[in-house]
Structure 1
Amino acid sequence: MFDQSRAQRGAPQGATRRLRAEDCIIVDNRELRKAQVGAGVGNFIEWYDIGIYGYLAVTMTSVFTEGMDERMGLLVTLLGFAVSFVVRPLGGMILGPLGDKIGRRKVLFFTMALMAAATTTIGLLPSAGQVGLWVIIPLYLLKMLQGFSTGGEYSGAATYIAEFSPDRNRGFMTALLNSGSMLGFAVGAGVVAATTALTTSAWGAQAMHDGGWRLPFLLALPLGILAISLRSRIPESPAFEVAHDKTTNPDVNPLFVRHNLPNILRFYWPQILIGIALIAADGTSSYMLTSYMPTYIETEVGSPAVHTAVAAVVVLVLQAVLIPLVARWSDRIGRRPIYTMATIGNLVLLIPAFALMHVGTLWSLYLAMFLVMVPSAFFLALTGAVMSELFPTASRYGCVGVTHNLSISIFGGTTPLVSQILVEVTGNPYAPAFYIMFFSAVALFAVFKMRESAAHPLLGSVPVVSSRQEAVELAAGQDSNERLDTGTMLLTPAPSGTTLERA
């Protein structure tokens, strides 16, 4: 196993110091709450935007591919979902290092504005019946803008919250982002279900095709304005501020240097490979539940869209509740045991879940989605924390942006498209389950290669604590505390005006 904390030990200029209580950062709970809300609301809206496209996929097919073969049109629509992920790595590669250079806060403000604008504009596009099939081109371009924005959104929000959170409950704090994601997806599904019910009851069965589909997209405008307003008030990450002025000296340990993309790949490729494997399992499992199962159940099982959307709302709300509970558990027992449970859960539960879908009853629909949801929740509980814990503060945003977006784009975002192709080519309705299970098996191997990071200080940062007493106890017990390694800490005074205070 690659152990970065040992391979890159040593404080700047080789002067390893002992941790003092005054080196620790004490969380200002008011600022932490402000940061949590500001980062979380953007993540919520991002997944609302992604969710409404997934739950409107069948309707969007009739709107944007009118006149095309229905099954081919569905693939074209799902390609629109996948194409947004083609540019996500580009967003991560550009916005991540930029966030390491100018700050997490400024980049997160930009990503939210871009996402809201692109989603709203989709709701204003004409249909294929009005202007022809060429309308698919601007649809794809807007999905690409969404993807570019998302490339900096989640990696930035996870980095930001991880750096703000006390070490001993960082898993719980960062997991709230994915709870917000699931709630955003649930709200997206709920809005689609409500819009469908209201418009069809008022204007008939064709109401969604005739324009009702626009309403969920246009709602992104007021939601985006709210998120931008909240993000304009959040403070900068204190860990970034402490490290920012110490990352330009080429003589210091690479751990404390702000790296460009080539050096990120050079210094951190082992962690990047581990992260890619974990996110591949996480992403395929999550996007199966949130973005492909509604389409699969409608087209392969024949369940009404409203039933599918309502079931998704219920299951995703349950997942949103389960995610922080699992994350708090991981703060206590470690990240690796939770990942092990997640991977084994997919290997054991997915085939029974797909069998239940084909029973065709309402109870089997709910139970099947629940079985897919549980392992996905275990993965999502750890994503933000583990991605941030793999990499050091000076280059964290860039590293997470590259790792998370490469994997989620290649494997996660393509899950709906690849799954539908597998069903079409093989004729096997269980093919999507085997696809997810493969990546879970790979992730299980990666778990044994990763270092345990629960309750450890972030690499390249000093400990973040909840009270002065905790700081004093850490300093006093550092010789016997296996979670502390001063060689990975930038032991320098905090800058004036920081939003956290030294012990």
Structure 2
Amino acid sequence: MPPGTSSPKRELTVADVNVVDPPKLRRAVSGTVVGNTMEWYDFGIYGYLAVTMGQVFFPAEDPGAQLLASLAAFAVSFLVRPLGGLVFGPLGDRIGRQRTLAVTMLMMAGGTFAIGLLPTFEQVGVLSPVLLVLLRMVQGFSTGGEYAGATTFVTEYAPDRRRGFLASLLDVGSYLGFAVGAGTVSIFQVILGEAAMLDGGWRWPFLIAGPIGLVGLYFRLRIEESPQFEANQALREQVATAGSGDDAVTEPRLGLVGIVRAHWRALVIAMFLVAAANTVGYALTSYMPTYLTDTLGYDALHGTVLTIPVLVAMSAGIPLTGRMSDRFGRRPVLATAAIATIVLMIPAFSLLAIGSLWSTVLGLCLVALCVMPYVANLASSLPALFPTASRYGAMGVAYNFAVAIFGGTTPLLVQALIELTGQGMVPAWYLMFFSVLGLVAIWRMPETAGRPMPGSMPNVQSEQEAAELVAGQHDNDRLDLAALPFDSTAFDSTASDSTAFDATPDPDEDALTRSR
């Protein structure tokens, strides 16, 4: 037994361990990743057309103000993300992860397609930017449920020993989606030219979102519901059928106030991590084309094209850092990302400032090198801070509030600081500051690699692994027998935030494990 743990309620048996069904796991991961790719294509193309969108939708008296207005329209979608999280999070905890993710896919594709149909400022005046902002809000509302739901879904499916790798594939989809968006914009820029893009060519990347969204929806509808969510539902139905009226044996679904009260420490840790990772991530994906074009003087085509190979290469490396976190732990890999950001941002932006092709690509690679271990491990680290019944809701709060306040506003705030100070190195200092906060969060977060999710029995990928886990249970430093939910009546509905750190027993998971 690991040092410092209390005496277990009883020993683990093979019947207690959940063996993941491989075909279901493959469908769940592939369907979620493909849908995620489509979703982030939709969301990302605006960032690659920010300069063009500013010229099309906002008055032209001041080019600087025009660009800031366009970036503000980008940022406003993040301001409504918390609202989307507050709606879709509890909805996903109530009706299921799969159904909710299908809804977010439809909303995002529909909102993106509608942007491609909007009239310009020249055609209808101020109504044009108003409609643009409203549709950006629809996109933001949709993404409020996307990442929280996708990460919750995949981590609840994944075997404990492979959770880092499998969850990291979500961000492969995200950054490939950004790369596909950048590639699509670049193709139209090459074919049509800058004048034709301003004259209506900008619409095509948005209109393509319609058929792409249907493809993403098809894959979303093929996946089956998370087994841990089904466990939660099955036990609730048993309690309701018995007519006991006693919900004490089930883990309570918490609303916003309940989530904040019970898990505020975990929420703060998650928000610091999200802020650190996403300021760097959105600087690379959504702000860098604007920085290259407006600050460094590249034309619109080069400002977009130069990021594509970097995003593709980073996508290929993300699973590697996911595997590393399964082997060495989430905290060491995340700490590496934070330290790399603090050390490499000044050299990265110094290389960008040189302005030559080789230095720009190398500077972008240094930024991507910092982003990669961050984003690869958020997907597996954050959901493991919260119990099953409120996991989607808690993720919706933590992730979306942090992204709204810090991540999505990065392009706008950094550009505004550059305009204010005239200093091209402002982005580097901005990103370094948030990685210092990230180090604080990493120091305080629990290590979750290879361990069961809070309130869950162990997840393994084969009967042999289940037998080996049971045989070595007393020597396994990643298995706390006293924390496993052997006894469903052990759950205390008044539990404090310790559930996020000590894996307080979750009876729902035990019920399903035994039924299987």
Q: Using the alignment, how far apart are the partners of 1:23 and 1:99 within structure 2?
A: 26
Is there any run of 5+ residues in structure 2 with no aligned partner, and where? 240-245, 486-506
Q: 1:297 pairs with 273, 280, 292, which one? A: 292
Q: Partner of 1:69 in structure 2?
A: 62
Deviations for 1:314-360, whole angstroms, at most 9, x for unmatched residues?
A: 00001101111011011000011111110111111111111111111
Where 1:206 maps in the other structure, the secondary structure is helix
Deviations for 1:200-227, whole angstroms, at most 9, x for unmatched residues?
A: 2xxxx41000111000000100010111
Q: Partner of 1:398 in structure 2?
A: 393
Equivalent residues of 1:113, 1:228 under 8 A apart? yes
Equivalent residues of 1:23, 1:493 under 8 A apart? no
Q: Partner of 1:136 in structure 2?
A: 129
Please, which moves more after superposition, 57-66 or 210-219?
57-66
Alignment of 1:38-187 (within 5 A): 38-187=31-180
Equivalent residues of 1:164, 1:239 under 8 A apart? yes
Q: CA deviation at 1:495?
A: 8.0
Q: Partner of 2:512 in structure 1?
A: 494
Equivalent residues of 2:16, 2:457 under 8 A apart? yes
Tell me which amino acid in the other structure corresponds to 1:340. A
Q: Using the alignment, how far apart are the partners of 1:93 and 1:16 within structure 2?
A: 36
Please, which moves more after superposition, 377-386 or 126-135?
126-135
Q: CA deviation at 1:181?
A: 0.5
Q: Using the alignment, how far apart are the partners of 1:392 and 1:52 within structure 2?
A: 35
Equivalent residues of 2:310, 2:365 under 8 A apart? yes
Tell me which amino acid in the other structure corresponds to 1:63. V
Q: Partner of 2:199 in structure 1?
A: 210
Q: Using the alignment, how far apart are the partners of 2:52 and 2:37 within structure 1?
A: 23
Equivalent residues of 2:267, 2:398 under 8 A apart? yes
RMSD across aligned C-alpha pairs, in angstroms? Answer: 1.9
Q: State, as a whole percentage, how many aligned pairs show the same letter.
A: 48
Q: CA deviation at 1:493?
A: 4.2
Deviations for 1:67-124, whole angstroms, at most 9, x for unmatched residues?
A: 3411101111001110001110111111111111111011001000000000000000
Q: 1:466 pairs with 458, 461, 467, which one? A: 461
Equivalent residues of 2:15, 2:513 under 8 A apart? no
Tell me, yes or no, if structure 1 residue 191 matches structure 2 residue 184.
yes
Q: CA deviation at 1:252?
A: 4.2
Tell me, yes or no, if structure 1 residue 388 matches structure 2 residue 383.
yes
TM-score with structure 2 setting the length: 0.90
Q: Partner of 1:368 in structure 2?
A: 363
Tell me which amino acid in the other structure corresponds to 1:414. T
Where 1:46 maps in the other structure, the secondary structure is helix
Q: CA deviation at 1:17?
A: 4.4
Tell me which amino acid in the other structure corresponds to 1:368. G
Q: CA deviation at 1:432?
A: 1.4
Equivalent residues of 1:64, 1:136 under 8 A apart? yes
Q: Using the alignment, how far apart are the partners of 1:69 and 1:463 within structure 2?
A: 59
Q: Partner of 2:226 in structure 1?
A: 237
Alignment of 1:239-278 (within 5 A): 239-246=228-235, 249-252=246-249, 256-278=251-273
Q: Partner of 1:447 in structure 2?
A: 442
Q: Using the alignment, how far apart are the partners of 1:401 and 1:307 within structure 2?
A: 36
Q: Partner of 1:220 in structure 2?
A: 209
Which segments of structure 1 move beyond 4 Å, counting only runs of 4 or more? 247-250
Equivalent residues of 1:109, 1:232 under 8 A apart? yes
Q: 1:334 pairs with 329, 332, 357, which one? A: 329
TM-score with structure 1 setting the length: 0.93
Q: CA deviation at 1:464?
A: 0.9
Where 1:19 maps in the other structure, the secondary structure is coil
Q: Using the alignment, how far apart are the partners of 2:263 and 2:9 within structure 1?
A: 22
Q: CA deviation at 1:153?
A: 0.6
Q: CA deviation at 1:462?
A: 1.3
Equivalent residues of 2:17, 2:513 under 8 A apart? no
Q: Partner of 1:437 in structure 2?
A: 432
Q: Using the alignment, how far apart are the partners of 1:457 and 1:328 within structure 2?
A: 17
Equivalent residues of 1:242, 1:494 under 8 A apart? yes
Q: CA deviation at 1:305?
A: 2.0
Q: Partner of 1:283 in structure 2?
A: 278
Q: CA deviation at 1:488?
A: 4.1
Q: CA deviation at 1:412?
A: 0.2
Tell me, yes or no, if structure 1 residue 29 matches structure 2 residue 18.
no
Tell me which amino acid in the other structure corresponds to 2:109. A
Shift in CA distance, 495/482, structure 1 to aligned 2, threshold 3 Å: closer
Q: Using the alignment, how far apart are the partners of 1:469 and 1:302 within structure 2?
A: 59
Tell me which amino acid in the other structure corresponds to 1:112. M
Tell me which amino acid in the other structure corresponds to 1:352. P
Equivalent residues of 1:246, 1:257 under 8 A apart? no
Is there any run of 5+ residues in structure 1 with no aligned partner, and where? none
Tell me which amino acid in the other structure corresponds to 1:362. L
Where 1:453 maps in the other structure, the secondary structure is coil
Deviations for 1:404-433, whole angstroms, at most 9, x for unmatched residues?
A: 111111000000000011111122111111
Where 1:192 maps in the other structure, the secondary structure is helix
Deviations for 1:270-297, whole angstroms, at most 9, x for unmatched residues?
A: 1100001110000100000001111011
Q: Using the alignment, how far apart are the partners of 2:513 and 2:280 within structure 1?
A: 42
Equivalent residues of 2:271, 2:399 under 8 A apart? yes
Count of residue pairs the alignment pairs up: 482
Q: Partner of 2:496 in structure 1?
A: none
Where 1:381 maps in the other structure, the secondary structure is helix
Q: CA deviation at 1:18?
A: 3.3
Where 2:512 maps in the other structure, the secondary structure is coil
Q: Using the alignment, how far apart are the partners of 1:17 and 1:68 within structure 2?
A: 74
Q: Partner of 2:242 in structure 1?
A: none
Deviations for 1:11-68, whole angstroms, at most 9, x for unmatched residues?
A: xxxx944322112111221111111122112211121112210010111111101434
Q: Using the alignment, how far apart are the partners of 1:20 and 1:70 within structure 2?
A: 68
Alignment of 1:339-350 (within 5 A): 339-350=334-345
Tell me which amino acid in the other structure corresponds to 1:177. L
Q: CA deviation at 1:250?
A: 4.4
Tell me which amino acid in the other structure corresponds to 1:23. D
